[in-house]
Amino acid sequence: MDISERPSHIAWGILLIVALAAPVLVNFDLYLIHVGITIAFNVALATSLWMIWTLGVISFAHAGFMGIGAYASALVLHKLGLSMWYGIWVGAAISGLIAMAIAVPLMRTRAVYFFMASWAVGEVIKRNFAFFKDFFGGWDGIFDIKQPVLDLGFLRIDFADRVAYYYLALFFAALTIWIIHRMNASRTGMIWWAIHENELLAEHTGINIFRQKVVCFTIACTLVGMTGALYAHYQTYISPKSFDIWKSEFALVHLIVGGLTSVAGPVSGAITLTVIDELLRATGYFRTIFFGVVLIASVLLLPGGLETVPGRVRKLVSRIRQK
Amino acid sequence: MSDFLQMGLTGLSLGLMYALIAIGLTLIFGVMRVIQYAHGEMFMLGAFTLYFWHAELGLPYWLGVAVSAGLIFCLGAVLQVVLFRPLQGKNILYSLAVSLGLVLIISGSGQLLFGTTTKGIPSAVSGGVLISGAYLSYERIVISIVSIGLIVSLWAFLRHSVTGFAIRAVAEDPETAALQGIRTDRIHWIAFGLGSSMAAIAGCMMGTLLSIVPTMGFLATIKAFMIVIMGGLGSVVGALVGGLILGMIDSVVTTTISGDIAIILSFVVIFLILVFRPSGLFGQNWD
């Protein structure tokens, strides 16, 4: 756990610079920029899931809440004719409100039962999108969700351009990471880790556990609702299948492969696994098989995840120096 | 009236089969405290073993069921020793991740090896009987009897045999059990193999009733988890009751309203059960 104790500003700085320079580095290749945008969404998804993990539980409803944000924003565009700049807030608000309402009963359950209860919530959300055909478009989903245009008078950016959307997604992912990092470093974050470590003890030190859990869940779902809105306007097409259990499960996999103790975990896990997944894209069925092998190997051979790699390297270097 | 009888009978036989899958899962969780997410893949592999044995090679049906159960028992035992033993005592998320990897590997290679077309296993028995207007095929009767027989014999095995006592002791407290001279490692792979072979037998039964595809494991996993959570993790009675509840919902709501509503409703029921009884219907308070 060396990495969480040492200042890692340099690593974050390098990551940000590389991410900012990425379109130039890949020579504006449209496919690679698409991969970059996918990475940004996956990072935002995994990081907000990690925020729930600081309470000690993993929510399988996370993709569902992403779906709520996406559908809300898409419907704001289609039914009200308002662009994403409004839709993203509506999506965040609806996602947050539903999350708060759901969290009140949901947080009664513990550990494994929480996985399943949240899974049920996610499935019901998805199935509702599929069932109400007139409003949500059924299994066919919603088409033609336009990218927004930023018009400041002197400056006009059309986000149908992929590079522009990349920077929007990057900005949003960075914002999510920053918010969650700040929350985690604050007193509130310490309270959540206290609940994670020992719920009974935390309760006896005067923490209102129930309220903290609901607050944490609501914030994480609000953030992921915004991610969903951005996702919808990038893909221009959403269907209930985009937000099924597999999306939540892959976010969980990103977390586990990356590491669970600091915000660096989900970020590194999401980046690495999205890149691996894209590299394997051409191999058909072998893609899922290789992905499974990578997953099992990383859990068994690299306990603690990718975030422990710098610490391991440092330990190795110091051992070599001593000899 | 006959409609309701028909729905009830279908629900009962469906529920018993669901319970068979779920009991294997609850056994694995109860003894090892790991989440076996690839349980449905065992179900799928069991069905495909029988398919190759009975439909391709033309060998006898009931022997095929036994062979399939035996093979999957070995597979489960090997998986436990190789993959799940190193995760013993760690956070439950790690076993979830490993078994998720297994799901990807097994269903991916299944699609590669068996193809994606649906296949069917010829039934062992044919014909049926009319009971006051409700049709009941002999096949369903046989399947229900086999399910009941297996569930009862597993229950008796856990209650009365020495190994069964050892399994329950390990489930209760592994350290104390080890101090009494029980080899917990051996109990672990036995329980894992037993649970997996239950799923394989359920797969054989289901395979004659429905068509089989390499992706069918995932749905079985979902059903099994829904049942196990509803009934309480580690509880055999809970799995039986949960299976019957889910089977009834599936049968009644699918025929009267629609399949989509049946799924939504069963998730809502689970959610409500968990809200009012956070450890399931028959579960012990577990952290």
State ipTM: 0.82
- What type of residue sits at position B208? T
Cross-chain Cβ contact B104/A289 below 8 Å: yes
Query: What's the half-sphere exposure (Cβ side, CA atoms, 13 Å) at A98?
Result: 24
- What type of residue sits at position A224? V
Q: Flag whether B282 is in a domain.
A: no
Give every residue of chain B whose pLDDT is below 50, as ranges: 286-287
What's the total number of domains in chain B?
A: 1
Q: Which residues of B touch A (CB under 8 A)?
A: 29, 35, 83, 86-87, 90, 92-94, 96-98, 100-105, 107-109, 111-112, 225-226, 229, 233, 260-261, 263-264, 267-268, 270-271, 274-275, 278-280, 283, 286-287
How sure is the predictor about A6, in pLDDT bands with cuts at 50, 70 and 90? Answer: low
Q: What is the mean pLDDT of residues A222-243?
A: 90
Q: Flag whether B285 is in a domain.
A: no
C-alpha B191/C-alpha B31 separation (Å) is 7
CB contacts of A122 in chain B (<8 Å) are none
β-partners of residue B136 are: B129
The domain limits of chain A are: 2-242
The pLDDT, as a whole number, for residue B78 is 93
Pairing of strands B128-131, A156-158: unpaired
Is there a contact between A202 and A194 (Cβ–Cβ < 8 Å)?
yes
C-alpha A35/C-alpha A187 separation (Å) is 36
Q: What is the mean pLDDT of residues A64-87?
A: 88
Q: Flag whether B2 is in a domain.
A: no
Q: Each residue of A254-271: pLDDT tens digit?
A: 888 888 888 888 999 999
Would you give the end-to-end CA distance of chain B in angstroms?
46
The pLDDT, as a whole number, for residue B129 is 75
Cross-chain Cβ contact A256/B279 below 8 Å: no
Q: What is the CATH number of the domain that holds B94?
A: 1.10.3470
Sign of the dihedral defined by the CA atoms of residues B8, B12, B18, B22, in that order: positive
Look up the pTM and report it: 0.86
Cross-chain Cβ contact A116/B274 below 8 Å: yes
The pLDDT, as a whole number, for residue B287 is 44
Q: Flag whether B246 is in a domain.
A: yes
Q: Flag whether B87 is in a domain.
A: yes
Cα separations in angstroms, A176 against A17, A34, A228, A272: 17, 20, 13, 19
Domain limits for position B47: 10-276
User: Residue B113 is encoded by which pair of tokens?
Assistant: 């090896």
User: Residue B196 is encoded by which pair of tokens?
Assistant: 């997996």
- With CA atoms as reference, the chain B residue closest to A139 would be B260
If one compares A231 and B259, the residue with the highest pLDDT of the two is A231
The pLDDT, as a whole number, for residue B12 is 87
Cα separations in angstroms, A68 against A35, A121, A285, B172, B235: 24, 12, 31, 42, 35
How sure is the predictor about A172, in pLDDT bands with cuts at 50, 70 and 90? Answer: very high
How sure is the predictor about A4, in pLDDT bands with cuts at 50, 70 and 90? Answer: very low
